[in-house]
Structure 1
Amino acid sequence: MRTFAVSALREPPFPARRHEGSDVVAGETTAWAESFGLIGSGHRLSRLRRADAAGLAGRAYPDGPLDRLRLLTDLISWLFVMDDACDEDGLGDAPTRLAPVVAALLDVLDRHGEATAAPADAGPLGAALHDLCRRVRARGHSPLLLRFVARLRDYLLALLWEAANREHRRAPGVAEYVQMRRHTGGVHPSFALTDLALDGLPGAALRSDPALLAVDTLAADLVCWCNDVFSYGKERAAPDGHNLVTVIARESGRDEAGALRAAADRFNDALAAYLVAETDLLATGEAALRPVLAARRNWIRATYDWSLVAARYA
């Protein structure tokens, strides 16, 4: 599938970069996941290493202090573990199985990283999530902590949507899938931590500007659709159809080749729209927008470059 993706997807026209501390952080984040019981020796450890969270984080955040890269890498590792538990280990096969886990994790999020430990019944996923929230809280930026927690809540509730689809063998339509994919991809909480790593964040009025929100949505779509095209070879056998190529094929009646082409075209069109929207925002002269837009560029490029080499989709 990589051969098709490379030939059909437009390469994002942004510099390809990688944080020089990525290899150091890779070992640290694996140790962090092990310390919370997210993984042990064997299959789950190998699976997380193959995912290369540090490789993705290091490309999305190529400059800056190592502790900020570590926080982003730990979040991405947590998201990979959660996704794999749902997609490959059976946790997400039915909402009745997933719901108690989600409820415990929502309880953790509702505590907003307070100094007290995670609830005793939160399990390894909850304990690690509490640690992430605690570290975000310690940075002293309350609005971004609230945004981070809210986006993770969206992610968890979207996983229940996926589980309901699996249980009923329901195939979502393209519009519904596109909307929910922005949440199941875990992109927005990752954006939040990348923004937290920046020295300057735009104020509330600028952060809620419709033009910037539209760019955020386009960037999230590009990250998710790039992932869908690269991962389709691995995911096409899954019966639930949570992949852009699959939902396009089912709704349009296209064959596999046609659906792949349509998914790639959707990515390419969105990338063109992103470049126009970004240019318009930069033309406003708002200096506070530049680091945020640079972070979105880095994420789009990072996903493309990481997907080229990630063993996760081999």
Structure 2
Amino acid sequence: MTKATKILLPDLVSHCTFKLRHSRHRKQITTETKKWLFKDGNLLGKSRQMYHGLKCGLLTSMTYPDAGYTQLRVVNDYLTYLFHLDNLSDDMDNRGTVSTADEVLNSLYHPRTWNSSARVGKMTRDYYKRLICTASPGTQQRFIETFDFFFQSVTQQASDRAAGVIPDLESYIALRRDTSGCKPCWALIEYAYNLDIPDEVMEHPVIRNLGEAANDLVTWSNDIFSYNVEQSKGDTHNMICVVMNEEGLDLQSAVDFVGDMCKQSIDRFNEERSRLPSWGPEIDRDVSVYVNGLADWIVGSLHWSFDSERYFGKSGRKVKSSRVVELLPQRR
């Protein structure tokens, strides 16, 4: 069987009908976060070039378009730091994700008393001290808990990768919902818009299902977009590889399979949105803002994936139009 040299991406952009919006603070937050990130010699050489190609300020601008400057800046600092967590933790003797988690989580649970010289700890305390100035107690708790889940799942992913394990689809989906890092970003929707939604409302099945559907779309589409770079490195922790292994599909059929799952997650989001109950005018207003924030993440992440250089280099616009991706050679 001839080895595939290209894949055709599913047309997720057309399937998503949510309005794409931008924040007027984009340029300002990009400039300020850059100063913050590069402080004390952070990110040199190739890592610095990758930062510019990432265009994280654009992602923040499209996923929190109505947030005020102060909140948007904290969100952008966090998202940028999340993308570069590996680089920021490289002064910790490469002891892996467990030591990084210790630094980050201690900085979150004890922002005023935990002291460490590690850059990742310093940066965590810095943005979190700003976040807790206005974030509700429930928002703070959800942010920390879901970030804790993120590190637990990333540690499991690193273990699977080292052992060459390709999980089954059900296990992969459960793990990927945490390795995506989306759940803390959902808590940041609450923070960005100064929401104070009661815990029992946030735990309602419809609200949880909406968050899950948005997470699935962002995460599974990311697996499609990042597949080319990952396959060139021999990384199999990707839904396309999982589907090929479990369903016995060829590459393009697996891409189509995951693409259909992405489309179904958008449909699922719309269906759950139509089922939202009422908790009274004040809570309903906050819930509406929160759910709109999830929709902004769905549409914003899709468009940003082609604007960023993270997945398609300088060819993002061309790929967005043609949907054709030429596969990179595998590194030996």
Q: Structures share a fold, TM > 0.5?
A: yes
Structure (1/2) with the larger helix percentage:
1
Q: 1:234 Cα deviation (Å)?
A: 1.3
Which runs of structure 2 are paired with 1:132-171 in the superposition (5 Å)?
132-171=127-166
Residue 4 of structure 1: aligned partner: 8
Does the 8 A contact of 2:10 with 2:255 survive in 1?
Answer: no
Residue 100 of structure 1: aligned partner: 99
Residue 330 of structure 2: aligned partner: none
Secondary structure of 1:312's aligned partner: coil
Q: 1:78 Cα deviation (Å)?
A: 0.9
Change (3 A) 1:9 1:174: farther
Secondary structure of 1:234's aligned partner: helix
Which runs of structure 2 are paired with 1:69-84 in the superposition (5 Å)?
69-82=72-85
Secondary structure of 1:47's aligned partner: helix
Tell me the alpha carbon deviations over residues 93-126 of structure 1, each in whole angstroms, 9 at most, x when there is no partner.
x9x6332222222222221x32x4x5224x1111
Letter in 2 for 1:13: T
Residue 29 of structure 2: aligned partner: 25
Change (3 A) 1:224 1:140: closer
Q: 1:5 Cα deviation (Å)?
A: 2.9
Does the 8 A contact of 1:166 with 1:239 survive in 2?
Answer: no
Tell me the alpha carbon deviations over residues 217-243 of structure 1, each in whole angstroms, 9 at most, x when there is no partner.
111111111211112121122334121
Residue 293 of structure 1: aligned partner: 291
Residue 116 of structure 2: aligned partner: 120
Q: TM-score, normalised by structure 2?
A: 0.84
The 1-side partners of 2:176 and 2:53 are apart by: 23
Which runs of structure 2 are paired with 1:54-69 in the superposition (5 Å)?
54-69=57-72
Q: 1:8 Cα deviation (Å)?
A: 5.7
Q: Which runs of 5+ in 1 are unaligned?
A: none
Does the 8 A contact of 2:97 with 2:151 survive in 1?
Answer: no
Does the 8 A contact of 2:88 with 2:120 survive in 1?
Answer: no
Residue 13 of structure 1: aligned partner: 17
Residue 233 of structure 1: aligned partner: 228
The 1-side partners of 2:11 and 2:73 are apart by: 33
Change (3 A) 1:227 1:85: farther
Letter in 1 for 2:52: R
Letter in 1 for 2:65: P
The 2-side partners of 1:282 and 1:49 are apart by: 43
Tell me the alpha carbon deviations over residues 238-279 of structure 1, each in whole angstroms, 9 at most, x when there is no partner.
334121111111111111011000000110111111111111
Does the 8 A contact of 2:8 with 2:252 survive in 1?
Answer: no
1:213 corresponds to 2:208? yes
Q: Which runs of 5+ in 2 are unaligned?
A: 313-332
Q: 1:133 Cα deviation (Å)?
A: 1.6
Letter in 1 for 2:290: V
Does the 8 A contact of 1:226 with 1:267 survive in 2?
Answer: yes
Which runs of structure 2 are paired with 1:158-197 in the superposition (5 Å)?
158-197=153-192
The structure with more radius of gyration:
2
Structure 1 stretch displaced more, 4-13 or 272-281:
4-13
Letter in 2 for 1:17: R
Secondary structure of 1:200's aligned partner: coil
CA RMSD of aligned residues (A): 2.4
Does the 8 A contact of 2:29 with 2:76 survive in 1?
Answer: yes
